[in-house]
Structure 1
Amino acid sequence: MPIKLLRNIKLNRFTFSKSQEEKGVLGQQFSGKHVLGAYVFPCKDLKSNQPLFNDGFPSLIFMPRSTDHVRLRRKKEIAHLKSAWACCGVIQDTHWEIPEGLEYILVLRFNPSSFYSLFKIDPMVFRSAPVCSFQDLVSAEWSSMINEMYQKEGVSEKISFLESVLSEQDTDDYLPYFLQAAIDHIELRRGNTTVSDVLKALGEKVNHKWLQRNFVKYLGISPKKYISLQRFIYAYGRYGENKNPDLLDTALHSGYYDHSHFYKDFKQYIGITPSQYAWD
């Protein structure tokens, strides 16, 4: 999803409501366990060429109309996606060229195990294509559901329809206890930790091989990469909030060894340097 939207989600900049979509960014909680939240993100004031990012939790993004299309720039390549698209895994140097006049996007953020179980998708699919058309991944039944959603008039009606359909699904939302504890520890530290520190926090019952195997199985990425994603998104938020940002201060407080480490990650994920990036 657009990194600016994910930053707002991670920093809890949303007030959950069902009837305030006209006021701008809207966050809505779902009644079930599958979806962690639904977010309506206005796009009319956003500049085009928005960098995309994912923190390891799968997201579905819906354009306002089924006839809308998505144009992405991945380094020097151009990709065209359908109106519903998925963001999972590790996204690097990928930018969304927002069409002129786009009103909003609707984002659903999923529990990882629920997402892969619901839609019968292998997490490894997103290693080669972390941003792709959702309709190309799922069965005809789910594609039909997406088409039906697009028949609904307003944003709230679309969200209510999705909530109703997804809450009725019988799926596996299980995550091993120690894996969830590892995720919670990394989130609490905002990525300012290491795999060794996570293992120490979990105790002697968990070893490195178990942690590696279960992160890959349930999230599709290694614990080291998951930590890197959390550290970067929180550093991005910290750096962007400061009106007079100090790159070294941001890097050190976020768990980077030095500003070069942060610089390297920024180039890797966003494709340009912090000084070249349009923070507004």
Structure 2
Amino acid sequence: MPINFFKHLAVHNDDHILRIAPLEHLKEIVEGFYVFKAGYRVERELFFNDGYPVIALMQNRNENVSVSIDGHMKSVGNAWVCGGVLRNTYCESGLDFQDCFVIRFYAVTFFKLFGINEDYFHQKQVFDFSEIAGYGFEQFEEAYYHGSSLEERMKITVRFLSEKVNTYSYPKVLLDIQKYIDRRGNLTVRDVMDGYAVRLNYKWLERNFKKHLGISPQNYLLIRRFLNAYIDLDSLTSKELLEIAIDNGYYDDNHFIKDFRRFSGVPPKTYFSRSKGAKTDKENYAK
């Protein structure tokens, strides 16, 4: 997803995002349905994922998204999936994401729902939804884009997902651990093991994160740390870069800059100076 989606998601009651709660029978599968109402065009938008796989559908059928992954261009169509750890990935389409419809899934159930392996996102992180949607996708897409209202499109989406729900087992405590990490923010694996209400075994945590979420606990904590620091930096507070880094669990500002390069391909100063409407205050944060 465009990283600004998560910036608005982090602010409760943000006017740029409308959240629709899932129906009871989908609550263990879908974290929420969202309409991204940011409505501003960015020529080159950084893509990111916060550990919750998403399926995004553009407002109009003819809005096809192209992404650059480490400099290699790829078209992912008007309905696409985003998950795993994204590095140096940008939307190059120059599209307005006004009213983009986003389905945010729990990873522990996402893989089972679409019948894919838990390491699927190791191979590709952004791709056309048709690659995994399975039976009924063409009818779903046709009906969705003929829907004339959000309510109608919601019903079509819920019906499509409901037809895929099967009975399967997974350690339900993983959902609670994931929510615990999201609430607490700056944590290490040791903090999770020591602070969570139930005693955890490291090998169990490592094995089940990889098996059911498709990502190691270390990588999950890493992407959450970067996202929190990015939002902090983007908020144009009076904090210095070093203070932002320390507040979000980095050793120092160089540690944060190194991570910023890992995810965006460039240091913060270059990234924000390229962003449309970037403020000069942000440039002073970076080296």
TM-score bin (small chain): 0.7 to 0.9
Conserved? CA contact 1:266–1:272, under 8 Å: yes
Q: Give the Cα separation in 2 of the matches to 1:172 and 1:250.
A: 44
Given candidates 19, 22, 26, the residue that maps to 2:18 is 26
Conserved? CA contact 1:66–1:83, under 8 Å: yes
- After superposition, the Cα gap between the structure-2 partners of 1:120 and 1:109, relative to the gap in structure 1 and judged at 3 Å, is same
TM-aligned CA deviation for residue 26 of structure 1:
2.3
Q: Give the Cα separation in 1 of the matches to 2:5 and 2:57.
A: 14
- After superposition, the Cα gap between the structure-2 partners of 1:211 and 1:232, relative to the gap in structure 1 and judged at 3 Å, is same
TM-score (structure 1 length as normaliser) = 0.87
TM-aligned CA deviation for residue 63 of structure 1:
1.3
Q: What residue number does 1:52 align with?
A: 47
1:118-177 alpha-carbon deviations (Å, 9 max, x no partner): 211222111121101110123132343233212212334212321344345533575424
- After superposition, the Cα gap between the structure-2 partners of 1:48 and 1:123, relative to the gap in structure 1 and judged at 3 Å, is farther
TM-aligned CA deviation for residue 245 of structure 1:
4.1
Q: What residue number does 1:158 align with?
A: 153
Q: Structure 1: state its 5+ residue gaps.
A: 16-23
- After superposition, the Cα gap between the structure-2 partners of 1:155 and 1:112, relative to the gap in structure 1 and judged at 3 Å, is same
Q: What residue number does 1:21 align with?
A: none
* Superposed CA RMSD: 2.3
1:5-55 alpha-carbon deviations (Å, 9 max, x no partner): 02221333446xxxxxxxx54222222312222222246422121001001
Does residue 272 in structure 1 map to residue 251 in structure 2?
no
- After superposition, the Cα gap between the structure-2 partners of 1:240 and 1:162, relative to the gap in structure 1 and judged at 3 Å, is same
Q: How many percent of aligned residue pairs carry the same amino acid? A: 30
TM-aligned CA deviation for residue 257 of structure 1:
1.1
State the AA in 1 paired with 2:103. Answer: L
Q: Structure 2: state its 5+ residue gaps.
A: 280-287
Q: Which has the higher contact order (CA 8 A, sep 6+)?
A: 1
Q: What residue number does 2:5 align with?
A: 5
Conserved? CA contact 2:67–2:74, under 8 Å: yes
TM-aligned CA deviation for residue 228 of structure 1:
0.6
- After superposition, the Cα gap between the structure-2 partners of 1:166 and 1:242, relative to the gap in structure 1 and judged at 3 Å, is same
1:230 is paired with a residue whose SS is helix
- After superposition, the Cα gap between the structure-2 partners of 1:162 and 1:223, relative to the gap in structure 1 and judged at 3 Å, is same
Q: Give the Cα separation in 2 of the matches to 1:172 and 1:194.
A: 33
Given candidates 126, 140, 145, the residue that maps to 1:131 is 126
Conserved? CA contact 1:64–1:105, under 8 Å: yes
Q: Which moved more, 1:257-266 or 1:59-68?
A: 59-68
Conserved? CA contact 1:66–1:147, under 8 Å: no
TM-score (structure 2 length as normaliser) = 0.85
Conserved? CA contact 1:175–1:218, under 8 Å: yes
Task: Name the count of aligned residue pairs.
Answer: 271
TM-aligned CA deviation for residue 4 of structure 1:
0.6
Q: What residue number does 2:203 align with?
A: 209
State the AA in 2 paired with 1:8. Answer: H
Q: Give the Cα separation in 1 of the matches to 2:13 and 2:264.
A: 22
Conserved? CA contact 2:36–2:97, under 8 Å: no
